[in-house]
Structure 1
């Protein structure tokens, strides 16, 4: 399968590196997970795209301000596995698309699908609020 064009709202499979893992000197995340692209901006004239993703996790949030639950119907439409899912708003990875950590799913596709516009707007607002309060971490993956 081909690598998709990165666009905000697209959910991809990605080897996400948590800030706590980065702080311990790790270069690779422990596992691949769905992540929502929140920024996909042209970086230079060669067509490189600066990409920022937010992880999707089963772990209930310790701080409800830092996460947003994805409704079950949207999880089913994206073909996410069973259980509840949250988008973390305080943990982000930044990389140049497609980077080294984009991973194929079992069916060979790299993407799960698009988030509905309303949910994506909530995620975007939440990330901005977290960043303004300086409570978010962005891990650069190709620096």
Structure 2
């Protein structure tokens, strides 16, 4: 088993904990899902702090906090054919690799990443996420403990 190095734009399989679930007292995500790494930061103790945003099949109520993934991108990542959205109005923070990183279904030996988002799409997501943060319309579930 070899883990990829976390890098911005990498899409991993992760047990994502929605912010409202954490607020309600949950400590574990209810579903393993693709998530995009948006930020990494090496800490003084050599740990790597990672921030991920989720990809979901559920059409978001707030269209200003998500964007639909183009079918071409989903095919490039090896994801299913259903419509999906990448949510940039919330995130999870964790220390890499953490207990919530999951292997891709059917991968042997275990693989943990689908691939990278196209650079242009990632740049747009990053700008929209920054705008949400500046407007204070961004939430993050801290899972570093």
Interval containing the TM-score (normalised by the shorter chain): over 0.9
SS in structure 1 opposite 2:102? Answer: coil
Deviations 1:76-113 (A, max 9, x none): 01011121111101110001111111000121210000
Residue matched to 2:9: 9
How many pairs are equivalent?
Answer: 142
**Alignment partner, residue 20 of structure 1:** 20
2:20 alignment partner, SS class = helix
Deviation at 1:65, TM superposition (A): 0.7
SS at match of 1:32: strand
TM-score (norm 1): 0.96
CA separation in 1, counterparts of 2:80 and 2:62? 23
Aligned to 1:37: 37
Large movers: runs of 4+ above 3 Å: none
Task: Give the 5 Å matches for 1:128-143.
Answer: 128-143=130-145
Deviations 1:62-84 (CA, angstroms, capped at 9, x unpaired): 11110011110010010111211
TM-score, normalised on structure 2? 0.94
SS at match of 2:16: coil
Q: Which runs of 5+ in 2 are unaligned?
A: none
Unaligned runs of 5+ in 1: none
Q: What's the C-alpha RMSD, in Å, of the aligned pairs? A: 0.9
1:47: how far off? 2.3
